[in-house]
Amino acid sequence: MNTQNRLMFSLLKSFILLIGIIFITGCSDEKVTMLKEDFLKTTVGSIENQKLKQEIKVVEVVKPKVVKQIPKVVKVKKKVPSISVQEKKQHFKDILVPIVTSVYNKLNNQYEDVKRDLNTSVNGEFILKLKKRYRAKTDEELLQALKPHPVSIALAQSAVESAWLTSRFTKQANNIFGVWSFKKDEPRIAASGLRGDKTIYLRKYKTLKHSVEHYYYNLAISKAYKDFRASRVLTNDPYLIVEHLLAYSEKGEVYTDMLKRVIEFNKFDKYDIK
């Protein structure tokens, strides 16, 4: 039996049942006519359709929400152009060799003039001022203080202490020899680390030339470099003189050996004034 026949059969059964109800309940002819009309107005298959409507789940189509994504602003870091070791060293020599050579020549000329004056006993007043400035008690101590050491040693120390002119102290304070500061009233900058619980300060200079001049002066007056000063009057060999710089670094002999290697490897001795 197909679907249409089943529906017709169901309709017929319902009609017969309706007649039975009317007969049993005793409805009037007018009510019977109304029931027939209401029943006949029922669309064939509407009952089955109602069943189907209950079984079918209504699926709502949800439109996807369009989320507008704000593009992130990506900051592109500018790449600092890399520089080779050779370029760094050449930059160092281009800047510092002329400065150190200039300071050396000035100090050496003064040394030769004072040496001559001491032999001829002239310019006594000026010599007394120099002795006071360099804390020298005798003529010999004055000459040791005035005699500048070879350019190669100054270049080696500045290369080591300033990392070839790239250290923060060099860039911010023109300090190329790692000179400390112990006076609050002088220009200086703080080191990043502490020594125990104390802040370390380094001297700040106006120019690189001032740094070189003060470096030579410190070695000329400090008691720690007495043997160093005596050796540079006796010889101009940088490899012999540098052995007396043990007090310049806590590393001691390791430091002086390193200076020798820096002088030799970079051929700094070619800049020494013969």
pLDDT tens, position by position, 209-251: 999 999 999 999 999 999 999 999 999 999 999 999 999 999 9
Predicted pLDDT of residue 214: 97
Can you read off the two tokens belonging to residue 270? 């070619």
Type of residue at 108: N
Predicted pLDDT of residue 192: 81
Mean pLDDT of 201-209: 96
Which of 232, 25, 75, 74 has the alpha carbon at shortest distance from 149? 232
β-strand partners of 186: none
**Whole-structure pTM value:** 0.70
Type of residue at 26: G
Q: Return mean pLDDT, the chain.
A: 82
Euclidean distance between CA atoms 81 and 85, whole angstroms? 13
Euclidean distance between CA atoms 258 and 250, whole angstroms? 13
User: Residue 76 contacts by C-beta under 8 Å, 6 or more apart in sequence?
Assistant: none
Asked if 35 contacts 10 with a C-beta cutoff of 8 angstroms, the reply is no
Asked if 269 contacts 237 with a C-beta cutoff of 8 angstroms, the reply is no
Q: Under DSSP, is residue 145 helix (H, G, I), strand (E, B) or coil?
A: helix
